[in-house]
Amino acid sequence: MSKIINPILRGFNPDPSILRVEDDYYIVTSTFEWFPGYQIHHSRDLINWQLINRPLDRVSQLDMKGVPDSCGVWAPCITHHDGIFYLLYTNVKSFDGEWKDTPNYLVTATDINGPWSDPVFLNASGFDSSLFHDDDGKSYYVNMLMDHRDRKFFGGVVLQEFDKKTKKLVGKIHYIFEGTEHGRTEGPHIYKRNGYYYLMTAEGGTSYEHCMTLARSKSILGPYEVHPENPIITAKYDSDNYLQKTGHGDIVETQTGEWYAVFLTGRPLTKLGRCITGRESAIEKVEWRDDDWLYLACGGKTARKEVEAPSLPEHTFTKTPQRIKFDSEKIDINFQALRIPMSQDWVNQTDRPGNLRLYGRDSLSSCFNQSMVARRVQAHHTTAHTVIEFSPENFQQMAGLVCYYNTIHYHYLHITGDDFGAYSGKKFINILTCDDHKTTCPIGKPIELPNVDRIYLKADFNGADLQFYFATEHTNGEPNWQALGPVLNGSILSDDYVEHAERHFHPCFTGAFYGLACQDLSGQNLHADFGYFDYQEFDQD
Protein backbone atom coordinates (compact mmCIF):
# COMPACT_ATOMS: atom_id res chain seq x y z
CA MET A 1 0.00 0.00 0.00
CA SER A 2 1.25 3.48 -0.87
CA LYS A 3 2.23 5.74 2.00
CA ILE A 4 1.96 9.46 2.60
CA ILE A 5 5.08 10.88 4.26
CA ASN A 6 4.51 13.72 6.72
CA PRO A 7 4.72 16.63 6.71
CA ILE A 8 3.14 16.90 3.27
CA LEU A 9 3.87 20.65 3.03
CA ARG A 10 7.28 21.30 4.56
CA GLY A 11 8.78 24.52 5.81
CA PHE A 12 6.46 27.34 6.98
CA ASN A 13 3.14 26.16 5.57
CA PRO A 14 0.75 26.45 8.54
CA ASP A 15 -3.03 26.56 9.09
CA PRO A 16 -4.06 24.30 6.19
CA SER A 17 -7.51 24.62 4.63
CA ILE A 18 -8.25 21.72 2.27
CA LEU A 19 -10.75 21.43 -0.57
CA ARG A 20 -11.61 18.72 -3.10
CA VAL A 21 -13.19 19.66 -6.43
CA GLU A 22 -13.93 16.43 -8.30
CA ASP A 23 -10.51 14.70 -8.60
CA ASP A 24 -8.39 17.66 -7.55
CA TYR A 25 -7.30 18.56 -4.03
CA TYR A 26 -6.14 21.99 -2.95
CA ILE A 27 -4.57 23.15 0.31
CA VAL A 28 -4.20 26.84 1.18
CA THR A 29 -1.72 27.86 3.88
CA SER A 30 -0.86 31.06 5.73
CA THR A 31 1.93 33.43 4.63
CA PHE A 32 1.72 36.30 7.18
CA GLU A 33 3.95 39.23 6.05
CA TRP A 34 5.24 37.47 2.91
CA PHE A 35 3.92 38.61 -0.47
CA PRO A 36 2.08 37.42 -2.57
CA GLY A 37 -0.35 36.17 0.05
CA TYR A 38 -1.29 32.53 0.69
CA GLN A 39 0.16 29.44 -0.92
CA ILE A 40 -2.09 27.06 -2.87
CA HIS A 41 -0.77 23.52 -3.32
CA HIS A 42 -2.42 20.99 -5.63
CA SER A 43 -2.62 17.18 -5.45
CA ARG A 44 -4.58 14.35 -7.03
CA ASP A 45 -3.50 11.58 -4.64
CA LEU A 46 -2.84 13.31 -1.25
CA ILE A 47 0.75 12.01 -1.50
CA ASN A 48 2.35 14.40 -3.95
CA TRP A 49 1.81 18.15 -3.75
CA GLN A 50 2.84 21.03 -5.99
CA LEU A 51 2.78 24.78 -5.31
CA ILE A 52 0.64 26.23 -8.10
CA ASN A 53 -0.04 29.87 -7.17
CA ARG A 54 -0.41 32.60 -4.58
CA PRO A 55 -3.84 34.20 -5.05
CA LEU A 56 -3.40 37.52 -3.21
CA ASP A 57 -1.01 39.05 -5.70
CA ARG A 58 -1.81 42.76 -5.85
CA VAL A 59 -2.03 45.64 -3.40
CA SER A 60 -5.74 46.15 -4.07
CA GLN A 61 -6.24 42.76 -2.43
CA LEU A 62 -3.47 42.86 0.13
CA ASP A 63 -1.88 46.04 1.44
CA MET A 64 0.72 44.99 4.01
CA LYS A 65 3.26 47.80 3.81
CA GLY A 66 4.30 48.60 7.37
CA VAL A 67 2.59 45.65 9.11
CA PRO A 68 4.63 44.22 12.00
CA ASP A 69 6.41 40.87 11.86
CA SER A 70 4.07 37.85 11.84
CA CYS A 71 1.05 40.03 11.08
CA GLY A 72 -0.47 40.28 7.60
CA VAL A 73 -2.25 37.24 6.16
CA TRP A 74 -3.44 34.76 8.77
CA ALA A 75 -5.31 31.44 8.55
CA PRO A 76 -7.25 30.90 5.30
CA CYS A 77 -10.47 29.14 4.43
CA ILE A 78 -11.18 27.96 0.89
CA THR A 79 -14.56 26.59 -0.21
CA HIS A 80 -16.24 25.86 -3.55
CA HIS A 81 -19.94 26.25 -4.29
CA ASP A 82 -21.88 26.40 -7.58
CA GLY A 83 -18.70 26.80 -9.62
CA ILE A 84 -17.20 29.58 -7.50
CA PHE A 85 -14.14 29.40 -5.24
CA TYR A 86 -14.48 31.42 -2.04
CA LEU A 87 -11.28 32.39 -0.22
CA LEU A 88 -11.39 34.13 3.16
CA TYR A 89 -8.45 35.90 4.76
CA THR A 90 -7.49 38.24 7.57
CA ASN A 91 -4.98 41.05 7.02
CA VAL A 92 -3.78 41.63 10.57
CA LYS A 93 -2.60 45.22 10.99
CA SER A 94 -1.48 45.24 14.62
CA PHE A 95 -1.20 42.75 17.43
CA ASP A 96 0.83 44.29 20.27
CA GLY A 97 -0.87 45.17 23.53
CA GLU A 98 -4.55 44.76 24.29
CA TRP A 99 -5.89 45.91 20.92
CA LYS A 100 -5.89 43.71 17.83
CA ASP A 101 -6.83 44.97 14.37
CA THR A 102 -8.10 42.02 12.34
CA PRO A 103 -10.10 42.99 9.22
CA ASN A 104 -11.50 40.00 7.31
CA TYR A 105 -12.02 39.85 3.55
CA LEU A 106 -13.37 37.61 0.81
CA VAL A 107 -12.07 37.08 -2.73
CA THR A 108 -13.63 34.80 -5.34
CA ALA A 109 -12.66 33.11 -8.59
CA THR A 110 -14.08 30.63 -11.08
CA ASP A 111 -10.64 29.06 -11.63
CA ILE A 112 -8.28 28.08 -8.80
CA ASN A 113 -5.48 29.78 -10.73
CA GLY A 114 -7.38 33.03 -10.86
CA PRO A 115 -7.80 35.77 -11.57
CA TRP A 116 -9.10 36.37 -8.05
CA SER A 117 -11.47 39.26 -7.47
CA ASP A 118 -10.84 42.44 -5.54
CA PRO A 119 -11.70 41.90 -1.88
CA VAL A 120 -15.01 42.38 -0.12
CA PHE A 121 -14.74 43.48 3.52
CA LEU A 122 -16.76 41.26 5.87
CA ASN A 123 -16.00 42.05 9.50
CA ALA A 124 -13.16 42.66 11.97
CA SER A 125 -14.35 41.05 15.22
CA GLY A 126 -11.64 38.40 15.21
CA PHE A 127 -9.56 36.21 12.90
CA ASP A 128 -9.65 32.69 11.39
CA SER A 129 -12.85 33.26 9.42
CA SER A 130 -14.53 30.35 7.62
CA LEU A 131 -17.48 29.73 5.30
CA PHE A 132 -19.95 26.83 5.43
CA HIS A 133 -22.43 26.20 2.60
CA ASP A 134 -25.49 24.34 3.91
CA ASP A 135 -27.58 21.93 1.85
CA ASP A 136 -30.62 24.24 2.03
CA GLY A 137 -28.86 26.92 -0.03
CA LYS A 138 -27.84 29.12 2.88
CA SER A 139 -24.25 29.92 3.77
CA TYR A 140 -22.76 30.82 7.13
CA TYR A 141 -19.65 32.65 8.27
CA VAL A 142 -17.79 31.88 11.50
CA ASN A 143 -14.75 33.39 13.16
CA MET A 144 -13.07 33.40 16.54
CA LEU A 145 -14.00 36.42 18.64
CA MET A 146 -11.29 38.78 19.89
CA ASP A 147 -11.96 39.83 23.50
CA HIS A 148 -9.61 42.57 24.73
CA ARG A 149 -11.10 42.71 28.23
CA ASP A 150 -8.83 41.61 31.08
CA ARG A 151 -6.35 40.13 28.57
CA LYS A 152 -8.81 37.38 27.72
CA PHE A 153 -7.93 37.47 23.98
CA PHE A 154 -9.81 34.29 22.88
CA GLY A 155 -13.51 35.01 23.25
CA GLY A 156 -15.08 31.96 21.59
CA VAL A 157 -16.73 31.49 18.18
CA VAL A 158 -19.43 33.63 16.52
CA LEU A 159 -21.62 32.86 13.49
CA GLN A 160 -23.56 35.01 11.02
CA GLU A 161 -25.41 34.24 7.79
CA PHE A 162 -23.60 35.10 4.54
CA ASP A 163 -25.55 36.25 1.48
CA LYS A 164 -23.79 34.83 -1.59
CA LYS A 165 -25.58 37.21 -3.98
CA THR A 166 -24.55 40.44 -2.25
CA LYS A 167 -21.42 38.93 -0.66
CA LYS A 168 -22.39 40.48 2.65
CA LEU A 169 -23.01 39.25 6.18
CA VAL A 170 -26.67 39.54 7.09
CA GLY A 171 -28.85 39.06 10.14
CA LYS A 172 -27.99 38.56 13.76
CA ILE A 173 -24.55 37.62 15.08
CA HIS A 174 -24.79 34.43 17.13
CA TYR A 175 -22.36 33.34 19.84
CA ILE A 176 -22.17 29.55 19.33
CA PHE A 177 -19.15 28.14 21.19
CA GLU A 178 -17.13 29.19 24.21
CA GLY A 179 -14.39 26.60 23.78
CA THR A 180 -13.16 23.85 26.09
CA GLU A 181 -10.76 23.56 28.99
CA HIS A 182 -7.86 23.47 26.51
CA GLY A 183 -8.39 27.20 25.89
CA ARG A 184 -7.26 29.57 23.14
CA THR A 185 -10.14 28.55 20.87
CA GLU A 186 -9.58 29.56 17.23
CA GLY A 187 -9.59 28.19 13.65
CA PRO A 188 -13.32 27.25 13.45
CA HIS A 189 -14.74 25.20 10.57
CA ILE A 190 -18.28 23.82 10.23
CA TYR A 191 -19.29 20.56 8.46
CA LYS A 192 -22.58 18.67 8.17
CA ARG A 193 -23.10 14.92 8.27
CA ASN A 194 -25.96 12.59 9.26
CA GLY A 195 -28.06 15.45 10.59
CA TYR A 196 -25.32 16.90 12.78
CA TYR A 197 -23.46 20.15 12.40
CA TYR A 198 -19.82 19.62 13.41
CA LEU A 199 -17.66 22.47 14.66
CA MET A 200 -13.93 21.90 14.47
CA THR A 201 -11.62 24.31 16.29
CA ALA A 202 -7.94 24.67 17.13
CA GLU A 203 -7.18 24.99 20.82
CA GLY A 204 -4.28 25.16 23.26
CA GLY A 205 -2.23 27.74 21.37
CA THR A 206 -0.07 27.04 18.35
CA SER A 207 2.91 25.48 20.14
CA TYR A 208 3.36 22.25 22.11
CA GLU A 209 -0.10 22.37 23.75
CA HIS A 210 -1.84 22.64 20.38
CA CYS A 211 -4.78 20.36 19.61
CA MET A 212 -7.80 19.80 17.36
CA THR A 213 -11.20 19.92 19.06
CA LEU A 214 -14.52 18.68 17.65
CA ALA A 215 -18.07 19.48 18.82
CA ARG A 216 -21.51 18.87 17.30
CA SER A 217 -25.12 20.03 17.39
CA LYS A 218 -28.42 19.28 15.66
CA SER A 219 -28.73 23.04 15.08
CA ILE A 220 -26.10 25.21 13.46
CA LEU A 221 -26.71 27.73 16.25
CA GLY A 222 -25.93 25.14 18.92
CA PRO A 223 -25.66 24.27 21.70
CA TYR A 224 -22.60 22.22 20.75
CA GLU A 225 -21.58 19.12 22.70
CA VAL A 226 -17.86 18.32 22.78
CA HIS A 227 -16.37 15.05 21.47
CA PRO A 228 -16.28 12.48 24.31
CA GLU A 229 -12.56 11.86 23.75
CA ASN A 230 -11.60 15.45 22.96
CA PRO A 231 -9.13 16.47 21.60
CA ILE A 232 -9.20 14.24 18.53
CA ILE A 233 -5.66 15.11 17.37
CA THR A 234 -2.82 16.36 19.56
CA ALA A 235 0.79 15.64 20.49
CA LYS A 236 0.54 17.35 23.90
CA TYR A 237 0.51 13.99 25.68
CA ASP A 238 3.44 12.52 23.73
CA SER A 239 6.51 14.76 23.70
CA ASP A 240 8.53 12.07 21.85
CA ASN A 241 6.21 11.92 18.85
CA TYR A 242 7.76 12.76 15.47
CA LEU A 243 5.04 15.32 14.70
CA GLN A 244 4.59 17.96 17.40
CA LYS A 245 2.33 21.03 17.74
CA THR A 246 -0.50 19.21 15.89
CA GLY A 247 -3.74 21.17 15.78
CA HIS A 248 -5.31 23.83 13.55
CA GLY A 249 -6.76 21.97 10.57
CA ASP A 250 -9.54 20.83 8.27
CA ILE A 251 -11.05 17.60 6.89
CA VAL A 252 -11.88 16.27 3.43
CA GLU A 253 -13.67 13.26 1.92
CA THR A 254 -12.13 11.48 -1.06
CA GLN A 255 -13.98 10.35 -4.17
CA THR A 256 -13.93 6.82 -2.72
CA GLY A 257 -15.48 7.78 0.61
CA GLU A 258 -12.31 7.88 2.70
CA TRP A 259 -11.72 10.76 5.11
CA TYR A 260 -8.51 12.64 5.90
CA ALA A 261 -7.61 15.48 8.23
CA VAL A 262 -4.93 18.05 7.46
CA PHE A 263 -3.42 20.04 10.30
CA LEU A 264 -0.61 22.24 11.46
CA THR A 265 2.52 20.55 12.83
CA GLY A 266 6.15 21.19 13.74
CA ARG A 267 9.36 19.14 13.74
CA PRO A 268 11.64 20.24 16.60
CA LEU A 269 15.40 19.74 16.40
CA THR A 270 15.35 18.44 19.96
CA LYS A 271 12.63 17.24 22.33
CA LEU A 272 10.15 20.12 22.64
CA GLY A 273 12.88 22.29 21.13
CA ARG A 274 13.17 24.71 18.26
CA CYS A 275 11.61 24.23 14.82
CA ILE A 276 13.76 25.90 12.14
CA THR A 277 11.32 24.77 9.44
CA GLY A 278 8.52 26.64 11.17
CA ARG A 279 4.95 25.42 11.37
CA GLU A 280 4.15 22.96 8.59
CA SER A 281 1.18 20.92 7.35
CA ALA A 282 0.60 17.20 7.87
CA ILE A 283 -2.20 14.72 7.13
CA GLU A 284 -3.84 11.73 8.84
CA LYS A 285 -6.53 9.24 7.93
CA VAL A 286 -9.68 9.65 10.03
CA GLU A 287 -12.90 7.66 10.27
CA TRP A 288 -16.50 8.17 11.32
CA ARG A 289 -17.62 5.54 13.79
CA ASP A 290 -21.05 4.26 14.78
CA ASP A 291 -21.46 7.00 17.38
CA ASP A 292 -21.25 9.62 14.58
CA TRP A 293 -17.97 11.00 15.94
CA LEU A 294 -14.69 11.38 14.06
CA TYR A 295 -11.54 9.56 15.24
CA LEU A 296 -8.02 8.93 14.02
CA ALA A 297 -8.20 5.73 11.97
CA CYS A 298 -5.02 4.46 13.63
CA GLY A 299 -6.47 5.02 17.11
CA GLY A 300 -5.28 7.37 19.81
CA LYS A 301 -4.64 11.07 19.30
CA THR A 302 -1.10 11.28 17.90
CA ALA A 303 -0.42 11.70 14.19
CA ARG A 304 2.13 9.57 12.37
CA LYS A 305 5.05 10.21 10.04
CA GLU A 306 3.74 7.58 7.58
CA VAL A 307 0.04 7.35 6.74
CA GLU A 308 -1.94 4.99 4.50
CA ALA A 309 -2.67 6.70 1.19
CA PRO A 310 -6.19 6.74 -0.24
CA SER A 311 -7.28 4.34 -2.97
CA LEU A 312 -6.44 6.75 -5.76
CA PRO A 313 -4.03 6.56 -8.72
CA GLU A 314 -0.65 8.01 -7.83
CA HIS A 315 -0.02 11.37 -9.50
CA THR A 316 3.49 12.84 -9.42
CA PHE A 317 4.78 16.28 -10.39
CA THR A 318 8.04 17.48 -11.90
CA LYS A 319 10.50 18.10 -9.10
CA THR A 320 11.59 21.66 -8.38
CA PRO A 321 15.09 22.16 -9.85
CA GLN A 322 17.85 22.63 -7.28
CA ARG A 323 19.34 25.49 -9.23
CA ILE A 324 17.39 28.53 -10.42
CA LYS A 325 19.21 30.13 -13.36
CA PHE A 326 17.28 33.40 -13.72
CA ASP A 327 17.10 32.78 -17.47
CA SER A 328 13.48 33.90 -17.95
CA GLU A 329 11.53 37.08 -17.32
CA LYS A 330 9.41 35.42 -14.61
CA ILE A 331 10.70 35.17 -11.05
CA ASP A 332 10.58 31.61 -9.69
CA ILE A 333 7.41 30.74 -7.76
CA ASN A 334 9.40 29.57 -4.72
CA PHE A 335 10.52 33.15 -4.04
CA GLN A 336 8.46 35.62 -2.02
CA ALA A 337 9.02 39.21 -0.95
CA LEU A 338 8.32 40.98 2.31
CA ARG A 339 5.00 42.89 2.50
CA ILE A 340 5.05 44.37 -1.03
CA PRO A 341 4.82 43.11 -4.62
CA MET A 342 7.91 42.18 -6.60
CA SER A 343 7.81 45.08 -9.03
CA GLN A 344 10.24 45.80 -11.87
CA ASP A 345 11.57 48.94 -10.21
CA TRP A 346 13.34 46.97 -7.47
CA VAL A 347 13.64 43.35 -8.66
CA ASN A 348 13.69 41.88 -12.16
CA GLN A 349 15.38 39.40 -14.48
CA THR A 350 15.27 41.67 -17.54
CA ASP A 351 17.63 44.59 -16.85
CA ARG A 352 20.49 42.11 -17.15
CA PRO A 353 19.21 38.88 -18.70
CA GLY A 354 20.46 35.75 -16.97
CA ASN A 355 20.66 37.56 -13.65
CA LEU A 356 18.29 38.55 -10.90
CA ARG A 357 18.86 42.25 -10.26
CA LEU A 358 18.00 43.87 -6.94
CA TYR A 359 18.05 47.63 -6.47
CA GLY A 360 19.10 48.51 -2.93
CA ARG A 361 16.58 50.17 -0.65
CA ASP A 362 15.69 49.77 3.05
CA SER A 363 17.56 47.89 5.78
CA LEU A 364 16.71 44.35 6.82
CA SER A 365 14.92 45.86 9.82
CA SER A 366 12.41 47.73 7.65
CA CYS A 367 8.70 46.87 7.44
CA PHE A 368 8.28 48.96 4.29
CA ASN A 369 10.56 48.75 1.23
CA GLN A 370 12.99 45.90 1.57
CA SER A 371 14.76 44.61 -1.54
CA MET A 372 14.82 40.91 -0.76
CA VAL A 373 13.44 37.77 -2.36
CA ALA A 374 13.54 34.60 -0.31
CA ARG A 375 12.53 30.94 -0.22
CA ARG A 376 11.60 28.66 2.67
CA VAL A 377 14.02 26.40 4.53
CA GLN A 378 12.15 23.09 4.24
CA ALA A 379 14.45 20.49 5.81
CA HIS A 380 16.72 20.13 8.83
CA HIS A 381 19.86 20.13 6.70
CA THR A 382 20.02 22.39 3.67
CA THR A 383 22.47 24.51 1.73
CA ALA A 384 22.01 27.60 -0.41
CA HIS A 385 24.57 29.35 -2.57
CA THR A 386 24.74 32.07 -5.18
CA VAL A 387 27.15 34.28 -7.10
CA ILE A 388 26.95 38.05 -6.81
CA GLU A 389 28.31 41.02 -8.75
CA PHE A 390 28.14 44.18 -6.69
CA SER A 391 30.26 47.34 -6.63
CA PRO A 392 29.55 49.22 -3.40
CA GLU A 393 31.05 52.66 -2.95
CA ASN A 394 30.52 52.95 0.81
CA PHE A 395 29.48 51.09 3.97
CA GLN A 396 25.82 52.02 3.52
CA GLN A 397 25.58 49.75 0.46
CA MET A 398 25.27 46.00 1.09
CA ALA A 399 24.12 42.91 -0.79
CA GLY A 400 24.34 39.18 -0.25
CA LEU A 401 22.82 35.99 1.12
CA VAL A 402 20.70 36.19 4.27
CA CYS A 403 19.30 33.52 6.56
CA TYR A 404 16.20 35.30 7.77
CA TYR A 405 13.39 34.89 10.29
CA ASN A 406 12.13 38.45 10.82
CA THR A 407 13.29 42.06 10.96
CA ILE A 408 15.16 41.49 14.23
CA HIS A 409 16.44 37.92 13.80
CA TYR A 410 18.77 37.04 10.93
CA HIS A 411 22.31 36.10 9.87
CA TYR A 412 23.58 38.06 6.86
CA LEU A 413 26.60 37.19 4.70
CA HIS A 414 27.13 40.22 2.50
CA ILE A 415 29.41 42.39 0.40
CA THR A 416 29.82 46.02 1.41
CA GLY A 417 32.05 49.07 0.90
CA ASP A 418 34.24 51.18 3.16
CA ASP A 419 34.11 54.79 4.33
CA PHE A 420 33.47 57.64 1.93
CA GLY A 421 36.50 59.36 0.41
CA ALA A 422 39.95 57.80 0.01
CA TYR A 423 38.78 54.23 0.62
CA SER A 424 35.77 54.47 -1.63
CA GLY A 425 35.57 51.60 -4.10
CA LYS A 426 37.16 48.93 -1.90
CA LYS A 427 35.08 45.81 -1.45
CA PHE A 428 34.65 43.87 1.78
CA ILE A 429 32.84 40.74 2.97
CA ASN A 430 31.12 40.68 6.33
CA ILE A 431 28.62 38.80 8.48
CA LEU A 432 25.97 40.56 10.54
CA THR A 433 23.90 38.71 13.13
CA CYS A 434 20.76 40.36 14.49
CA ASP A 435 19.33 38.74 17.61
CA ASP A 436 16.41 40.54 19.29
CA HIS A 437 17.45 43.97 17.97
CA LYS A 438 21.14 43.45 18.92
CA THR A 439 23.41 43.46 15.85
CA THR A 440 26.91 41.94 16.07
CA CYS A 441 29.70 41.06 13.65
CA PRO A 442 30.81 37.45 14.32
CA ILE A 443 34.07 37.88 12.35
CA GLY A 444 35.09 41.01 14.25
CA LYS A 445 35.37 43.36 11.29
CA PRO A 446 34.86 43.20 7.52
CA ILE A 447 37.48 41.39 5.43
CA GLU A 448 38.83 43.11 2.33
CA LEU A 449 38.28 41.20 -0.89
CA PRO A 450 40.59 41.01 -3.90
CA ASN A 451 39.69 42.98 -6.99
CA VAL A 452 37.25 40.47 -8.50
CA ASP A 453 33.84 40.98 -10.02
CA ARG A 454 32.11 37.71 -9.10
CA ILE A 455 31.94 36.49 -5.50
CA TYR A 456 30.32 33.22 -4.46
CA LEU A 457 28.34 33.05 -1.21
CA LYS A 458 27.10 29.93 0.57
CA ALA A 459 25.21 28.92 3.72
CA ASP A 460 25.19 25.40 5.18
CA PHE A 461 22.28 25.12 7.62
CA ASN A 462 22.50 21.80 9.47
CA GLY A 463 20.15 21.53 12.43
CA ALA A 464 20.98 24.42 14.75
CA ASP A 465 24.40 24.95 13.13
CA LEU A 466 24.84 27.55 10.41
CA GLN A 467 28.16 27.98 8.63
CA PHE A 468 28.84 30.62 5.97
CA TYR A 469 31.34 30.21 3.11
CA PHE A 470 32.64 32.38 0.29
CA ALA A 471 34.81 31.94 -2.80
CA THR A 472 36.50 34.23 -5.32
CA GLU A 473 37.90 31.44 -7.50
CA HIS A 474 36.63 28.15 -8.80
CA THR A 475 38.03 24.89 -10.14
CA ASN A 476 36.27 22.90 -12.86
CA GLY A 477 33.21 25.04 -12.42
CA GLU A 478 33.00 24.54 -8.65
CA PRO A 479 33.75 27.40 -6.25
CA ASN A 480 36.74 26.93 -3.94
CA TRP A 481 34.76 27.43 -0.75
CA GLN A 482 36.38 28.98 2.31
CA ALA A 483 34.60 28.94 5.66
CA LEU A 484 33.96 32.43 6.99
CA GLY A 485 33.47 33.08 10.67
CA PRO A 486 32.36 30.69 13.42
CA VAL A 487 29.48 28.25 13.35
CA LEU A 488 26.42 30.39 14.12
CA ASN A 489 23.27 29.53 16.02
CA GLY A 490 20.73 28.94 13.26
CA SER A 491 18.02 27.99 15.75
CA ILE A 492 17.42 31.66 16.57
CA LEU A 493 15.53 31.63 13.25
CA SER A 494 12.54 29.86 14.79
CA ASP A 495 9.21 30.71 16.40
CA ASP A 496 10.30 28.91 19.55
CA TYR A 497 13.36 31.11 20.05
CA VAL A 498 11.87 34.40 18.95
CA GLU A 499 8.76 34.21 21.12
CA HIS A 500 10.99 33.93 24.18
CA ALA A 501 13.51 36.52 22.98
CA GLU A 502 10.90 39.23 22.51
CA ARG A 503 10.68 41.57 25.49
CA HIS A 504 6.94 42.01 24.96
CA PHE A 505 4.43 39.53 23.60
CA HIS A 506 4.32 39.55 19.84
CA PRO A 507 3.20 36.79 17.48
CA CYS A 508 5.97 34.57 16.08
CA PHE A 509 4.43 32.42 13.39
CA THR A 510 6.71 32.05 10.37
CA GLY A 511 9.98 30.15 9.76
CA ALA A 512 13.51 30.36 8.40
CA PHE A 513 14.19 31.61 4.87
CA TYR A 514 17.17 31.88 2.55
CA GLY A 515 17.12 35.31 0.91
CA LEU A 516 18.92 37.34 -1.72
CA ALA A 517 19.06 40.91 -0.48
CA CYS A 518 20.37 44.37 -1.34
CA GLN A 519 20.40 47.57 0.74
CA ASP A 520 21.38 51.10 -0.14
CA LEU A 521 20.89 53.22 2.94
CA SER A 522 22.26 56.26 1.10
CA GLY A 523 19.16 56.30 -1.10
CA GLN A 524 21.04 55.91 -4.39
CA ASN A 525 19.46 52.52 -5.22
CA LEU A 526 22.72 50.82 -6.16
CA HIS A 527 21.97 47.44 -7.71
CA ALA A 528 23.38 43.95 -7.20
CA ASP A 529 23.23 41.13 -9.76
CA PHE A 530 22.81 37.50 -8.72
CA GLY A 531 23.80 34.88 -11.30
CA TYR A 532 21.90 31.88 -9.88
CA PHE A 533 20.39 30.50 -6.70
CA ASP A 534 21.07 26.91 -5.63
CA TYR A 535 19.05 25.21 -2.86
CA GLN A 536 19.61 21.61 -1.75
CA GLU A 537 18.20 19.35 0.96
CA PHE A 538 20.16 16.53 2.58
CA ASP A 539 17.65 14.84 4.88
CA GLN A 540 14.06 13.69 4.98
CA ASP A 541 13.24 14.80 8.54
SS3 492: helix
The verdict on whether omega for the bond into residue 231 sits within 30 degrees of 0, i.e. cis, is yes
Beta strands in 227-370 (DSSP E): 233-234, 249-253, 259-265, 280-288, 294-296, 306-308, 323-324, 336-338, 347-348, 356-359
Task: Tell me how far apart the alpha carbons of residues 392 and 527 are, in angstroms, rounded to a whole number.
Answer: 9
Q: What is the dihedral of CA 484, 487, 489, 490, to 10 degrees?
A: 70
- Terminal CA-CA length for the chain: 22
Q: Which residues of 111-126 are buried (b: 16+ CB within 10 A; e: fewer)?
A: ebebebbebeebbbbb
Q: What are phi and psi of 293, to 5 degrees?
A: -115, 155
Closest CA to 34 of 527, 510, 518, 528: 510
Q: Give the type of residue at 6.
A: N
Q: Is the dihedral of CA 282, 283, 284, 290 positive or negative?
A: positive
- Enumerate the H helices of 165-242 as residue ranges: none
**Known catalytic residues?**
15, 186
Q: Which residues have CB under 8 Å from 122's CB, separation 6+? A: 88, 104, 105, 106, 129, 141, 162, 168, 169
